Amino acid sequence: MSSSRSDAVEFPPLTERQASVLRAVVASYVGAGGPIGSQTIAHLLAAPLSPASVRNTLTELTGLGLVDKPHRSSGRVPTERGLRVFVDTLLAPATLPRSERRDIAYRLDEVDGDRVVSAASELLSHHTRQLGFVIAPRFARMRVRHVSLVRLSTERVLVVLVTASGVATRRVIDADREFDQPSLDRVASSLTERVAGRTLAEVRCDLEREARALRRDANALLAWTLELGRRAFEACDDEEGDLVIATRMALLDQPEFRDPCRLRELFAALEEEERLLEVLGQILEPEGVSVAIGEELDDPGLRRCALVASPYGGAVGQRPLGVLGGIGPSRMDFSRVIPLVDYCSEVVTGRLTA
């Protein structure tokens, strides 16, 4: 499973000793959040290495910009560059325990289609202990199963579109003429026959073409069926995917976010939904899991964070339905978060494209 950015900087290969020491520094940093000394590193290494040799290797890694010494008398911590090298070249592929996979699949399977997205966000937060998020699917890319029309007034109609996976969207449109409910039921039935199993984008042009062909036809009800369908689908086609964050409590477990100022910076960045979508567009790979760390996120509120994200839904070569992932401190346990995001993407894809 790939988890690197396509524009990531290439680094010279590390020696086996440098790689093992960098792994130890990252592992300790993820666990403790602070600098690690040479003696502690020596105890963590699988192959015996003296503290003096560890210190020499740390000096080499510092020269490469992969570790840093925050204070004169402290140990070392990985830099953002070091974390990037770890993720791209040293992180071993990992799979989720069967029990976790079962729990995620079960919980996403038991919720209605409308709640899949919020349930996925909550599960990501719970299992990663980071801020789980989902960009909800744009409705126009989902396959429609059923159309309902409900008369609200003489000239206003409620349109309810239900996808194959059970997700529903509702829009009110102007009808320009009075329909009784039985007539609307016939219109809805006719539209359902035309659109079932297809996306809004696939049927909109067909409806417009059929409507043009009927301009001289005497079948007024069919003409209005096509016109109402066009208006209904245009209204839903304008719907953009929303940012869904079911809970933010998991972030409070991270010591980095016990600082109110830093927490406010992050939440302010998340409030600007368009900005987050822009950031995701810059770092997201078409397939698989993408990882961005610190400055790669190019947003003041996110620059001390890490983001792991994956697209979901859509066949290979097609635009995805949305994006999901986790945001947390750069001291993120990537070996755990990456497979969690990857598996959640797989399960959500199955639910929304069934």
Give the least confident one: 167-171, 192-196, 303-307: 167-171
The pLDDT of residue 188 is above 60: yes
For the chain, give the percent of residues with pLDDT over 90. Answer: 27
Specify the pLDDT at position 10: 67
Instruction: Return the amino acid letter for 266.
Output: L
Rounded Cα–Cα distance for residues 248 and 125 (Å): 8
pLDDT tens column, 222-237 = 777 777 777 777 766 5
Joined tokens for residue 127:
């299992």
Farthest CA pair distance, the chain: 93
pLDDT tens column, 1-24 = 444 444 445 677 899 999 999 999
CB under 8 A, 24+ apart: contacts of 294-298: 294/80, 294/83, 294/330, 295/80, 296/5, 296/80, 296/84
Mean pLDDT of 257-264: 81
Specify the pLDDT at position 236: 62
b/e per residue, 183-197, with b = 16+ CB within 10 A?
ebeebbebbbebbee
Q: pTM for this one?
A: 0.79
Rounded Cα–Cα distance for residues 298 and 114 (Å): 33
How many other CB atoms are found less than 10 A from the CB of residue 242? Answer: 13
